[in-house]
Amino acid sequence: MYMIERQQQILQFVRQHKVVKLVTLTKEFNVSMETIRRDIQQLMLDKKIEKFYGGVKYIEPVEGLIDQRLHERLTEKIAIAKASASLVQDGECIFIDSGTTTYQMTPFLLDKEKLTVVTNSLPVAFDLIGSNIEVILLGGKIRHSEKSVTSNEFLFHFEHLNINKAFICASGVSIEKGISDFNLEEAITRKKIISISQTVYVATDSSKFNKDVAIQVCPVEEVDVIITDNALSKKTLQHFSDKGVQIKIVSTTEDQH
């Protein structure tokens, strides 16, 4: 096993167990204490884990501003967005979430006929201004860090929407905790959209898998398909497939433009 691959597996193991003794890691990965210490040192430099006497603990990620995240894993996000947009048919009403992956869908939708886009993303709405696409912006409170609108029933009548396909983002995806997000109000909006949509897609890159963040949006059973990139490990793919979760893998090697 390559060192980088082992470090990623160590990180995943620590993420799942939160707190792990070093001796446990040596047994789990069948390597010496010296090797584990070197791997741990690198993961500490990457600020992924924190060391204490005799063990390590996982550092929960903190959500960055949307402008900071727009250029992270951009190739993967564009590939996922293009694949997501290819599922949209003329005449449909779709929901586009406020995340950085779903935002990349807009240029691939411009040739659609009689399309209606419901969104809580200000950047998505602005990108579609001047196009032939009908845009419905959710009413509610502006979340400045995400340039999004979080909405509750008393601010917006969700029951009037008839959404064929919803494209949802995720900060965490796991079998145990399902789809999760950092922000409660954002999660509430997503929950409502999921409940009224005919088909629900989660568009998220592979780095979000086997990760749980603050707020559960929904169990994986409430999602029809998860669209992600081909860096997802075969083990994780099999784990989700065994649970009946449909995952669409998108290649990132093709020219996406």
Sheet harboring 55-58: ordered strands across?
Answer: 19-21, 55-58, 49-52
> Within 10 A of 221 (CB to CB), how many other CB atoms are there?
10
Q: What's the pLDDT score for residue 256?
A: 43
Q: Can you say whether the dihedral through the CA atoms of 39, 237, 27, 20 is positive or negative?
A: positive
Confidence tier at 44 by pLDDT (50, 70, 90): confident
The candidate with the shortest Cα–Cα distance to 21, out of 50, 51, 52, 55, is 55
Strand (E) or helix (H) holding 69: helix 66-69
Answer whether CATH 3.40.50.10140 is correct for domain 3-58.
no
- Of how many residues is the chain composed? 257
Is there a contact between 118 and 91 (Cβ–Cβ < 8 Å)? no
CA distances from residue 237 to 17, 21, 206, 240 in whole angstroms, order as listed? 20, 28, 10, 5
| Burial (0-12, 13-18, 19+ Cβ within 10 Å), 140 | middle
Q: Which CATH number fits domain 66-250: 3.40.50.1220, 3.30.300.20, 3.40.50.1360, 2.170.130.10?
A: 3.40.50.1360
The residue ranking higher by pLDDT, 143 or 37, is 37
DSSP strand E in 53-91: where?
Answer: 55-58
Domain spans in the chain, listed from the N-terminal domain onward: 3-58, 66-250
Contacts of 111 (CB under 8 A, 6+ apart): none
Q: What's the pLDDT score for residue 4?
A: 77
Percent of the chain with pLDDT over 90: 54
The candidate with the shortest Cα–Cα distance to 66, out of 156, 141, 169, is 169
Which of 2-6, 8-12, 151-155, 218-222 comes out lowest in average pLDDT? 151-155
Contacts of 204 (CB under 8 A, 6+ apart): 80, 99, 101, 169, 170, 173, 226, 227, 228
pTM confidence score: 0.71
pLDDT tens by residue, 213-242: 889 999 999 999 999 999 999 999 999 999
